[in-house]
């Protein structure tokens, strides 16, 4: 609680919501009232003491389905974001440090991938490959790494010409040292800000794929798939599709609030060390 009092109000709210969703996803088998795929009652039953959020289009408990869906959504988005950052940042730093034809070849390949709309590219790939969780993580991570590559390369190009990097080169340090010990620590602030955005884009991207039927496949649940399954209920005034949509929006806002606070904090700390 003392830590939360030192955090700005907006960031504290975002942190509480994010941590709550992540913990619910991790502890889904223990906190969900019912198994996520078990049919329990009638179709689209209203909220009650037995089903706190009602039931979905097949009579499954919507709250349990939401918790298990959050587990799948957050896991896939997290893994895809981690893959995108590892691949994109390493390749971007490498292109900036090596320069020359290495930079040109890598940048043109990234430009080629970015010239194709991401959703259309993913739909083409997933229409051929099976929509399993590892394939989804791989496709989303590779496509998203192009954005991380552009950012990390742009930041690394500026850092690569600074005096402390030149001093490291004169000391005879290798390119690996330059990338991981000189450039990476000084590029963390923009990458941290981008991390939150890329995670949210991964959540939205996965939800869009699932809504179109090429994302997470039954019996697994995810929030985009839940919106798709219950969309017909909107016509009858049933909010079953709006609940997972609200969860997506809440996660997006909360993660962005936390990412903005972390960015300001790391920037302030760097400024303080520089003044010292």
So what's the pLDDT on residue 4?
54
3-state secondary structure of 42: coil
Sign of the torsion formed by the C-alpha atoms of 269, 270, 272 and 273: positive
10-residue mean pLDDT series, the chain (276 residues): 67 90 92 86 85 87 92 93 92 86 89 86 87 91 91 86 79 77 79 84 92 84 89 85 92 88 65 39
Angle between helices 223-230 and 188-211 (to 10 degrees): 30
So what's the pLDDT on residue 269?
46
Closest CA to 68 of 100, 34, 93: 34
**Residues with Cβ < 8 Å from 194, sequence gap 6 or more?**
147, 148, 151
Tokens of 257: 């609030």
What residue spans of 212-241 are helical by DSSP H?
223-230
Q: Find out whether 81 and 202 touch, Cβ atoms under 8 Å.
A: yes
So what's the pLDDT on residue 274?
38
CA–chain centroid gap for 107, Å, is 24
C-alpha span between 132 and 61 (Å, rounded): 24
C-alpha span between 93 and 3 (Å, rounded): 35
Give the per-residue SS3 of 97-142.
HHCHHHHHHHHHHHHHHHCCCHHHHHHHHHHHCCCCHHHHHHHHHH
So what's the pLDDT on residue 149?
92
What count of other Cβ atoms lies within 10 Å of the Cβ of residue 149?
26
Q: Find out whether 228 and 210 touch, Cβ atoms under 8 Å.
A: yes
Tokens of 263: 């960015």
C-alpha span between 138 and 126 (Å, rounded): 11
Q: Find out whether 202 and 140 touch, Cβ atoms under 8 Å.
A: yes
C-alpha span between 262 and 270 (Å, rounded): 12
C-alpha span between 233 and 276 (Å, rounded): 61
3-state secondary structure of 51: coil
So what's the pLDDT on residue 1?
52
What is the fold, at CATH topology level, of the domain defined by 72-275? Answer: MetI-like fold (1.10.3720)
Compute the residue count for the chain: 276
So what's the pLDDT on residue 246?
92
């Amino acid at each position: 609680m003392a830590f939360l009092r030192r955090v700005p109000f907006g960031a504290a709210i975002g942190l509480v919501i994010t941590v709550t969703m992540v913990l619910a996803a991790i502890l889904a088998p223990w906190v969900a009232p019912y198994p996520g795929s078990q049919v329990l009652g009638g179709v689209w039953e209203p909220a009650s003491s037995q089903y706190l959020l009602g039931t979905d289009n097949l009579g499954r408990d919507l709250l349990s389905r939401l918790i298990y869906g959050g587990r799948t959504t957050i896991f896939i988005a997290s893994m895809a974001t981690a893959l995108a950052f590892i691949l994109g940042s390493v390749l971007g730093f490498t292109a900036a440090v090596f320069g020359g034809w290495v930079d040109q070849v890598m940048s043109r390949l990234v430009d080629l991938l970015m010239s194709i709309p991401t959703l259309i590219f993913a739909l083409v790939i997933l229409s051929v490959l099976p929509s399993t969780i590892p394939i989804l993580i791989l496709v989303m991570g590779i496509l998203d790494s192009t954005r991380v590559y552009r950012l990390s390369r742009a930041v690394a190009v500026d850092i690569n010409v600074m005096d402390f990097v030149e001093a490291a080169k004169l000391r005879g340090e290798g390119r690996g040292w330059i990338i991981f010990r000189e450039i990476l620590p000084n590029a963390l602030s923009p990458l941290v800000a981008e991390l939150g955005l890329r995670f949210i884009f991964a959540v939205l991207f996965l939800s869009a794929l699932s809504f179109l039927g090429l994302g997470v496949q039954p019996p697994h649940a995810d929030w985009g798939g839940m919106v798709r399954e219950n969309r017909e209920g909107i016509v009858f005034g049933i909010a079953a599709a709006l609940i997972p949509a609200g969860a997506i929006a809440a996660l997006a806002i909360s993660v962005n609030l936390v990412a903005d606070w972390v960015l300001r904090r790391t920037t302030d700390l760097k400024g303080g060390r520089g003044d010292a």
